[in-house]
C-alpha cells in the first residue's frame, strides 16, 4: 500500500492539462495502484485523477460503491452525454468545500484499461457525475468552477 500526496486547489499543478499515456508501463500500473490506495484511504473518495497526485497524465479511477466496483480509465474520451442532474459535489483536492454542480444524467465513455484494452462504458446518475468530475481534472477544471449558483459552501462529508 502506498499513499501519494494530494495536490490541492491552490497548487498550479491542479490547473494543468494532462497528456495522454503513450505506453502502459509498470510505472503507470504502480500509479493506478497508488491512486486506489489514496482514494480509499479512510474511505474518503469515490474518484481520483492522476493530476490530483501530481502526475499530469490522462488517467482517473472511480468507485462509487455500485456493482462496477473500481474502474480505471486511461486516455478516456467522452463519446456521448444526455440529460441533466444537479447535486452537491466535493473533491479530495478541495477539502472542506462543496457546491451544487450540473452534470449530464448519462455519459458514454471509452478508455483503455490497465491491459491496454479499449472498453466502452455507459453510466448514469452518480457514476456519470463522478466520471465527468474526474474527466474535468484532466483538463485542469475543478467542480468549484461550475457551481450552479456561483456559491461555494463548507462541507464535512464525502469527497471525490
- Give me the sign of the Cα torsion angle 27, 57, 101, 91: positive
**Residue span binding Zn ion (CB under 5 A) among the ranges 10-18, 30-38, 75-83, 84-92:** 84-92
Residue linked to cell 508501463? 25
**Least separation in angstroms between CB 133 and Zn ion:** 5
**Residue span binding Zn ion (CB under 5 A) among the ranges 6-14, 56-64, 83-91, 108-116:** 83-91
Catalytic residue among 23, 100, 124, 134: 134
Of residues 6, 7, 91, 127, which one binds Zn ion by CB under 5 A?
Answer: 91
Residue linked to cell 467522452? 78
> Can you say how many angstroms the Cα of residue 150 is from the centroid of all Cα atoms in its chain?
22
**∠ CA(19), CA(108), CA(70), 5° rounding?**
70
Residue 134 falls in the annotated catalytic set: yes
Interface with Zn ion (CB under 5 A), residue total: 1
Joined grid coordinates for residue 147 = 457551481
- When the beta carbons of 7 and 91 are compared against Zn ion, the nearer one is 91
Closest to 160 (Cα-Cα) out of 84, 85, 64: 64
- When the beta carbons of 101 and 111 are compared against Zn ion, the nearer one is 101
Q: Which residues bind Zn ion (CB under 5 A)?
A: 91
Catalytic residue numbers? Answer: 134
Amino acid at each position: 500500500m502506498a499513499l501519494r500526496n494530494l495536490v490541492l486547489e491552490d497548487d498550479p499543478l491542479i490547473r494543468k492539462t494532462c497528456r495522454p499515456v503513450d505506453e502502459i508501463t509498470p510505472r503507470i500500473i504502480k500509479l493506478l495502484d497508488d491512486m486506489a490506495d489514496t482514494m480509499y484511504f479512510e474511505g474518503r473518495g469515490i474518484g481520483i485523477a492522476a493530476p490530483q497526485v501530481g502526475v499530469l497524465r490522462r488517467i482517473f479511477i472511480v468507485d462509487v460503491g455500485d456493482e462496477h466496483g473500481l474502474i480505471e480509465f486511461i486516455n478516456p474520451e467522452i463519446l456521448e452525454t444526455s440529460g441533466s442532474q444537479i447535486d452537491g459535489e466535493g473533491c479530495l483536492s478541495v477539502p472542506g468545500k462543496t457546491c451544487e454542480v450540473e452534470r449530464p444524467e448519462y455519459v458514454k465513455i471509452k478508455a483503455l484499461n490497465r491491459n491496454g484494452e479499449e472498453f466502452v462504458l455507459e453510466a448514469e446518475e452518480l457514476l456519470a457525475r463522478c466520471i465527468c468530475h474526474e474527466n474535468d481534472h484532466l483538463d485542469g477544471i475543478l467542480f468549484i468552477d461550475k457551481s450552479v449558483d456561483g456559491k461555494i459552501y463548507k462541507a464535512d462529508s464525502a469527497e471525490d
